């Protein structure tokens, strides 16, 4: 068995353990990868802390409701103890997002390709300019996804990630969190699309999905839960391939919150 395969088996065991302590953070792992990749690609840059001379992506307003960074940091620490310098933080994040969702089904919900390397740059300004705003209308949403070579179908499908209980800070009260899918806050399912159809989506961007005939059709198709599961996995695979660093580009960080 290869060194990488041994690491990935060990990783799956760690995720199973951390799921028990990170139950409320599983949606955040998916949000971290989606929002992180909209900044500069799937390079783990969203995991980096700010420095004295730079404000990192994680402090940007769109990312301030994200949690779960500590789970990623601890997984990396355990992996480095057994086999250092093999699994990147970018791969850990992609795998953790998949396995935290998959845990309730006791099987992998989609394939995650590995081999990513970690980026060395993380800027608040890139998060602000690249992450789709909850106030976007349909046209702006579609363009933001197209900028990352993602389709209208990906836009509607990945919006369904809100169904796994992700919470966000309100603009009027930073101490308050609001479930994006109050009808099904801890389960990965297609309930989000029922809420959107009932015009109960939390954001303007949720309501925007009904303002276009094609996207509205996709919303209705994704009410079928098995169909949603399949399509979500496919879109996450495409998202996970956005602007990936490989070869000699980037690095494999020793700690996910700081560059080497």
Which segments within the chain are labelled E, that is strand?
Answer: 167-169, 177-179
Q: Which token pair is 111? A: 């394939």
Distance (Å) of CA 239 to CA 3, 45, 108, 139, 151:
26, 15, 17, 20, 10
d(CA 30, CA 98): 8
Q: Which token pair is 112? A: 């995650």
Name the region of 83 (left: φ>0; alpha: ψ -120 to 50; beta: rest).
Answer: beta
Q: Which residues are annotated as a binding site for Ca(2+)?
A: 41, 43, 45, 57, 163, 181, 189
Q: Which residues are annotated as a binding site for substrate?
A: 132
Comparing C-alpha atoms, which of 173, 146, 177, 166 is closest to residue 242?
A: 146
Q: Which residues are annotated as a binding site?
A: 41, 43, 45, 57, 132, 162-163, 181, 189
Q: Which residues are annotated as a binding site for heme b?
A: 162
What's the 3-state SS for 36-100?
A: HHHHCCCCCHHHCCCECCECCHHHCHHHCCCCCHHHHHHHHHHHHHHCCCCCCHHHHHHHHHHHH
């Amino acid at each position: 068995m290869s060194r990488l395969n041994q690491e990935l088996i060990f990783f799956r065991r760690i995720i199973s353990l951390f799921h028990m302590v990170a139950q409320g953070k599983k949606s955040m792992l998916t949000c971290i990868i989606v929002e992180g990749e909209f900044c500069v690609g799937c390079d783990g840059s969203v995991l980096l802390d700010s420095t004295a001379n730079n404000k990192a992506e994680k402090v940007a307003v769109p990312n301030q409701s994200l949690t779960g960074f500590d789970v990623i940091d601890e997984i990396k620490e355990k992996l480095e103890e057994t086999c250092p310098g093999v699994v990147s933080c970018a791969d850990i994040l992609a795998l953790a997002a998949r396995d935290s969702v998959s845990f309730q089904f006791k099987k992998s919900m989609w394939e995650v390709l590995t081999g990513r390397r970690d980026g060395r740059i993380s800027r608040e300004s890139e998060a602000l300019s690249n992450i789709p705003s909850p106030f976007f209308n349909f046209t702006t949403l579609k363009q933001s996804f197209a900028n990352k070579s993602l389709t209208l179908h990906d836009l509607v499908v990945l919006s369904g990630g809100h169904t796994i209980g992700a919470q966000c800070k309100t603009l009027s009260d930073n101490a308050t969190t609001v479930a994006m899918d109050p009808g099904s806050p801890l389960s990965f399912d297609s309930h989000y699309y029922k809420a959107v159809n009932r015009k109960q989506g939390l954001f303007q961007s949720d309501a925007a999905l009904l303002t276009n005939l094609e996207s509205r059709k996709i919303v209705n198709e994704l009410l079928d839960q098995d169909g949603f599961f399949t399509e979500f996995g496919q879109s996450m695979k495409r998202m996970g391939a956005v602007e990936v660093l490989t070869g000699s580009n980037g690095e494999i960080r020793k700690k996910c919150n700081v560059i080497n």
